Structure 1
Amino acid sequence: MSLPTGVTDTPRPKLRSRPLVATIILFGGLAALLLGLAVSVSVGAADIKLSTVWNAVFHFNPELTQHQIIQELRMPRALAGALVGIGFAISGAIMQGMTRNPLADPGLLGINAGSGFVLAFCFAFYPGLPFHYLILFSFIGAAVGTGLVYGISSISKSGLTPVRLALAGAAVSALLLALSEGIAIYFHISQDLAFWYAGGVAGTKWMQINIIWPWILGGVIGAIVIARSITVLSLGDEIAASLGQRTKWVKLAGMLLSLVLAGASVSAVGAVGFVGLVIPHIARSLVGVDYRWIIPCSAVLGALLMVLADIGARMINPPFETPIGALIALIGVPFFLYLARKERREL
């Protein structure tokens, strides 16, 4: 039997997905995230009862010191952790899907280091720059770092490979970090950059939340819109093209979304790596290869990881705080080494 005009016989690949598991993760993760946010607000130098947290949120009394602590210090800190967890996780998921590179991550591909270098430049030459300008410069730095990594790793005749991309990312990140430290030492701004190097949400204010949440929300919506295209692209450029997809436009949109999500997150909390590496892998192993499920599940799991890490940072050595970046690196570094070793065996 002949096919109708305009219809090809290109087989459509079957995509493994687990909608039931994804639904459980989304609803269960959201419930756990709400509980984590409540615990995050109550834990700190001054422990506060959950009932007090409830009253401070829904029946705020400015005359009570604990209510002021919750509203002005604890709540923006907890929300910042959730927002940047979403940003880093979705950025990593998009990059892994587009490049088919299991090692792709904003911290490993120069995005974090590029943002840090430009922020160091701003602290040195434009002190007191408003935060909304710092976000824009953070985006520029993220684009510069990513461009350098992809440019260096594509010089080889064999083209881009996951390991080569990771090595180029490590080299560029080390270079940009060294330049940032040089600027910090020469212009005496080491203390201003110390928080960014360590990574954390301490000291986050409502002003920062009000600036970054529209960027991250826009990035999330954009990622959901192109999720199906990323799923097809993750099968390979040839298959995607045979199915009628404009791969160049999808890659451009995905890269811009990754830069927006990671750049906004870095400008708020600093160089927190490995969230975008670990979380998408966990989501993919649980829900399958359909990015229409991977992206929302990564968002929930990324937010939950950052909130729990922030709680742990305050509980490990009270009253001092452990940098969140160090805690997540305890998980991320072994995971990265495992993926690199696995990828090397497959080459």
Structure 2
Amino acid sequence: MITPERWEMGRGEAGAERERPDFRSPGHAAEARIEEPQVLLGRMASRLESVLIGKRETITQAMAALLAGGHVLLEDAPGVGKTMLARAFARVIGGRFARIQFTADMMPADITGGMIWDGEKNEFVYRPGPIMANLVLADEINRTPPRTQSALLEAMEERCVTVEGETRRLPEPFLLIATQNPLAYEGTYPLPEAQLDRFLMRLEIGYPAPSDEVRMLEEAGASRQTRPEELRPVVTTGEWRQMQREAGRVYVHPSLCEYIVRVAGATRQASELSLGASPRASRDWLRAAQARAYMEGRAYVLPHDLLDTAMPVLCHRIAARPGADRTMALQRILKETPLPEGDRPGGGRR
């Protein structure tokens, strides 16, 4: 039996022991933190929830995706807080924030920037686009045609943009939060599969519970509602980069990597699906599980970290055949694929 202690120690078949990363020291970082990372992350979540009341799990998942160095797609009906959550993230992380309001007539240069004539220098110079920011809000991304949406592909994966044959690096960290309305809404375009695959997580906010909606109305009626622009940064961009590096060092037992591959392989062979999970999806699933473990203060991944992140990481990357449902297909695959011993749904950790 593989116990949590074995996940932590990372003993392989040869019995070699892996050194546990020390999250309490700054390591290679330029400056030491005054507080533990998990304290800072908890404070960030609390401040975000003061804006988006009652949505702690959505906030936690979004934080894990960004901590893993990925991007987030928020898809839901208008008015549930998608844009507000993105703006709040920009405030608590710090750094430069830019918002791109996507419209039907937007051009790729409106995102990446372009060359303009400088009369003083008597030459063309590069004018940075809004993509040159630490956290970018791509608002209503599916209201612009696919040609303009594709302008984000290089930025999302390579962290750079190419304009007039010259490649320019984006600032670090670079985080993209995109919002979109359901495709049934008028004036929307489907995102290309290649772009969907570059979002580490797709999340839905959903309507608030009645008690949370009452609290929201009470605070709004008394002018006590917290607005995103009122939030103060919890970390600097340097601290956030440091936490991203530390999350990437969280240990993953080989049997968990094998489990990820089995699930991904099952999606590629499922009769209900026409498109299975890509290798990028497998990588992103592992990174999301590392981030969830790091947020809980663990230096090792447990199987439940994978289960907690499976649906938001994988579901938007697969496609169902006519008459089938991709969510139900993925749920079936997760249920039928045996977990490594040590942690099972409903059974607690062994």
TM-score, normalised by the number of residues in structure 2: 0.28
TM-score, normalised by the number of residues in structure 1: 0.28
Q: Which has the higher helix share?
A: 1
Q: Which has the higher strand share?
A: 2
